[in-house]
Structure 1
Amino acid sequence: MRPPIDTAVTSQVIVDHSSAVHHAAALARAAALAGGLGIAVAERTAVLTSELAGNLLRHAVGGAVYVQRLPQGGGLDVVAVDRGPGMAQPDRAMVDGFSTAGSLGSGMGAARRLADELALRTLPGVGTLICARFHAPGSTPPRSDIGLLCLPVRGEDECGDSAAVADAPGGRTVAVVDGLGHGAEAAEASAAAVAAFRAEPDRPLPDLLAAMDRALRASRGAAVGLLRLRPGTAEHCGIGNVRLLLVAHDGVRARAAGQPGVVGWNMPRPLPRTLPMPDECAAVLHSDGIATRWPDTATPFLLGLPPRLLAAALGHGHRSARDDATALVTGAARRSS
């Protein structure tokens, strides 16, 4: 039986025309309703998305809005990214009535009120990133910050990449899956791998990969990267071209690549590797739809972004036009007090 296609695919709206503002708001409202956030949250999401997209249209260049359901469920991120002039006074921009363009200046103050969480980073001459996060009523926010961008290749409706997150007493386990190729068959392979992951996500990582390998035998196969975070450590196990980087504001602390092979076809014996992960680090797990050379030009501003903004920045600035692209970023596992 064909596994269900994962619906947590990112919607992207390039904001280069007034109609894009309405389109982004409609997509955000639909995503909130589909994610079970309810009508009231969906309306807040639409209003705020309209504000963010309108600001991009008025003040920025190279801007886009990304709408992404949280991979662990229970929420939604709306991220606005641009390559504009940046905000010279970001703290003042969050106050109602402040404006640099002769408008009423209510947009960013409204954003702070409407969102359950708001993250903003800006650098003059580089641009601005804003993430508004909405939680389902009564849901518990995730234990540590996490960001995801999962974009289909341009021109395709289905994404051959997928991602999943599972929290358990033994640690946070994350998966990024890149079905071979793109389109419907790649999406089916990716969904089958995620279904196997979700069945028993707390297994040892080599056993998880073996379960995915069995589930993908009748598919075209996939590359898979798995990561398990515990306080102070990151255990990695992967097959194929999904890459791991541990980053902090001062640079890349560690890198790991998957073993050569294909999950679902002639997979080698998985070999896990444990890396030290200090509290100040974030883990970036991404498919090869994100350019592999992005760390070569990464600035402290980029590397110091919180996970929800870093994922969007990688997709916005380092995405291949010829492949599906996924970036999952998560903070270190929290130590018990």
Structure 2
Amino acid sequence: MSQPSSCTEALTDEIRIDHESAVHLAATAARDCARRCALPGAMPDQAAVLASELASNLVKHAVDGTVYVQPQRVGTGVEIIAVDRGPGIRDLDRSMADGYTTTAGSLGAGLGAVRRIATEFSIRTRLGFGTLVCARLSVSGEPRPARRDVGSVCLPAMGERHCGDACDVADTGDSLTGLVVDGLGHGVPAAEAARSAVRSFRTAPDRPLGDILTSLHRSLRHTRGAAAGVLRLHPDRAEYCGVGNIRGVLLAGGEVLHRMTGQPGIIGWNVPTPRTRTFPLPPGAAFVLHSDGVESRWSHSPPAFLLRLPPPLLAASLAHGHRRSRDDATVLTVHAA
């Protein structure tokens, strides 16, 4: 069973790129994150370069740009995601070349340097929609689960230092199991409930989903309580079990196949007998779990471009475009194969 990153309980750093000075903030956040994750040698400085290049592109060319910096959800490394609302990149291949620039006198390394430095790199762009870029910097030689990709964003409410949301994943044999939890309210009490739920989940994430929720219920009895949803992806099917306001969405072929909500109740206070739902899993399917800090209406008539994004970019896009700023917000996305 593969283990999550040692620093996955850290929140996502969100840096709005609305001024030149924000480039330095993004670089500092990436360097600090790399150091917290104990990345060796020059890797913290490399993480800063990745964030600086992505933030610089947003300042020069984008609208409503944000950089997200966080530990990788699985393994040891840093994940840096840049997302904006336009105008999109007209000639992506040309923009990816080292030294390309559209601004006289600029460094010009840009996206080509990001792709070269990053351990993993993905980019999607659409004219009029915007551009999303994910750059991961991982410890060389560390094994990574090859079957599924995972994305996540976990943000506190605006003005809050502590986040009452949390998420986690575990590679459980031939399946992958994920958790999203939303502690009631805000601040420290909600954060304590969320952390207790993650600790309980990590003790035995391969249990039946109903048993996981029952265990979370026992662990949270002396906390404020929480909503929680657990997901398991098998090679041929998906299972979901939830209590409270966690939403689940199954995607495949550029369409929304299923939407799920939890049973009424509060983990730690009053929980019905957990009920697990099972769905066939088409090839290339993806699953989204999110707290109510992300508006559920995103799934009602989403553009195909959004639904076909890889998990890290999908999580960032949903957080960027559909977040309720006055609530904690978490998105967990998993690609089935």
One fold, TM greater than 0.5? yes
Flag structure 2 segments of 5+ consecutive residues without an equivalent: 1-6
SS of the counterpart of 1:27? helix
State the distance in 1 between where 2:313 and 2:145 align: 16
SS of the counterpart of 2:296? coil
| Structure 1 pair 195–204 and aligned structure 2 pair: CA distance change class (3 A) | same
Counterpart residue identity of residue 159, structure 2: G
Please state if 1:110 is matched with 2:113: yes
SS of the counterpart of 2:256? strand
Query: 1:43 Cα deviation (Å)?
Result: 1.2
Give TM-score, length-normalised by structure 1.
0.95
Q: Which residue of 1 aligns with 2:311?
A: 307
SS of the counterpart of 1:285? strand
* 1:268-299 C-alpha deviation (Å, 9 max, x unpaired): 11011111111221100000000010112410
Do the aligned residues in 1 keep the contact of 2:100 with 2:110 (CA within 8 Å)?
A: no
Do the aligned residues in 1 keep the contact of 2:224 with 2:268 (CA within 8 Å)?
A: yes
Percent identity (aligned): 52
Q: Which residue of 1 aligns with 2:38?
A: 36
SS of the counterpart of 1:150? strand
State the distance in 1 between where 2:71 and 2:282 align: 28
Q: Which residue of 1 aligns with 2:135?
A: 132
Query: 1:101 Cα deviation (Å)?
Result: 2.6
Query: 1:255 Cα deviation (Å)?
Result: 1.4
Out of 230, 235, 238, the residue aligned to residue 239 of structure 2 is 235
State the distance in 2 between where 1:234 and 1:7 align: 25
Query: 1:250 Cα deviation (Å)?
Result: 2.4
Q: Could you say what the CA RMSD is over the residues aligned between the two structures, in angstroms?
A: 1.5
More off after superposition, 289-298 vs 187-196:
289-298
Flag structure 1 segments of 5+ consecutive residues without an equivalent: none
SS of the counterpart of 2:228? strand
Out of 273, 276, 279, the residue aligned to residue 272 of structure 1 is 276
SS of the counterpart of 2:42? helix
Give TM-score, length-normalised by structure 2.
0.95
Out of 36, 58, 61, the residue aligned to residue 60 of structure 2 is 58
* 1:56-92 C-alpha deviation (Å, 9 max, x unpaired): 0111110010012122331221000011210001111
SS of the counterpart of 1:225? strand
Out of 209, 216, 221, the residue aligned to residue 212 of structure 1 is 216
Q: Which residue of 1 aligns with 2:3?
A: none
Q: Which residue of 1 aligns with 2:93?
A: 91
Q: Which residue of 1 aligns with 2:302?
A: 298
Do the aligned residues in 1 keep the contact of 2:252 with 2:282 (CA within 8 Å)?
A: no
State the distance in 2 between where 1:181 and 1:70 align: 27
Counterpart residue identity of residue 207, structure 1: D
Counterpart residue identity of residue 289, structure 2: L
Query: 1:263 Cα deviation (Å)?
Result: 0.4
Q: Which residue of 2 aligns with 1:78?
A: 80
Q: Which residue of 2 aligns with 1:329?
A: 333
More off after superposition, 66-75 vs 142-151:
66-75
State the distance in 1 between where 2:211 and 2:158 align: 34
Counterpart residue identity of residue 227, structure 1: L
Off by >3 Å, runs of 4+ in structure 1: none
| Structure 1 pair 39–296 and aligned structure 2 pair: CA distance change class (3 A) | same
Counterpart residue identity of residue 192, structure 2: E
State the distance in 2 between where 1:217 and 1:39 align: 44
What number of residue pairs does the alignment pair up? Answer: 330
Out of 158, 167, 172, the residue aligned to residue 162 of structure 2 is 158
Q: Which residue of 2 aligns with 1:182?
A: 186
Query: 1:9 Cα deviation (Å)?
Result: 1.0
SS of the counterpart of 1:39? coil
More off after superposition, 258-267 vs 36-45:
36-45
